[in-house]
Chain A
């Protein structure tokens, strides 16, 4: 059974960095593109970034481009999100989600439970 578990969230000051992880199990991780999606408190979903199955291609929302980096370690079945120059408006629950296949252009069929990032002084 597919299982995605995010970790690494917490309280961080503006301008600082944080690295999120997503541990995957129950499927062949290296065969699927993966996403990060966030949700500010009381707000809707915002797509953040996607990475291809082999890590060779990445795409970002304009709101995080140049500050966030998505990566993966297929040998450890783990997805990462390196977040630099954090701003208060980055405060959100961050979800990792599996794309439904090798293709990046696919819906997200499994989601983790999320990890909360709070950016505050």
Chain B
């Protein structure tokens, strides 16, 4: 089973700064099968990125995804107050077991 590790655990940045979130897999993940989700307090998760780098419908272009193999990155180019949330990566497809990472919490300073 693929294990996903996310870092950092918490990220505190000022509005307008760039946020870089990392997701590392214990074994290679097909880029087609890596997603990122945003979960705001008290809300259901929302799909941000699928296929490692494709933005989901309605997602602002300040969110971007990249990476391949075992290392993937979610970048928020200019942090806004409404981006305060926990961000999860997920791999899907390998043996049809869908694994989530533990999440990165993004705070505003």
**Docked complex: A91-121 residues within 8 A CB-CB of B:** 95, 97, 100, 104-114
CB-defined contacts of B35 to chain A, threshold 8 Å: 107-108
CB-defined contacts of B33 to chain A, threshold 8 Å: 105
**Docked complex: B55-108 residues within 8 A CB-CB of A:** 56-57, 86, 88, 90, 92-93, 96-103
> Interface size for chain B: under 10, 10 to 19, 20 to 34, or 35 or more residues?
20 to 34
CB-defined contacts of B56 to chain A, threshold 8 Å: 107, 109
> Interface size for chain A: under 10, 10 to 19, 20 to 34, or 35 or more residues?
20 to 34
Chain A: which residue is nearest B51 at the CB level? A107
Contact A95:B97 (CB < 8 A) given known A105-B33, A106-B92? no
Contacts A104-B96, A114-B44 known; list 6 others, CB within 8 Å.
A37-B45, A44-B103, A45-B45, A105-B92, A105-B96, A108-B35
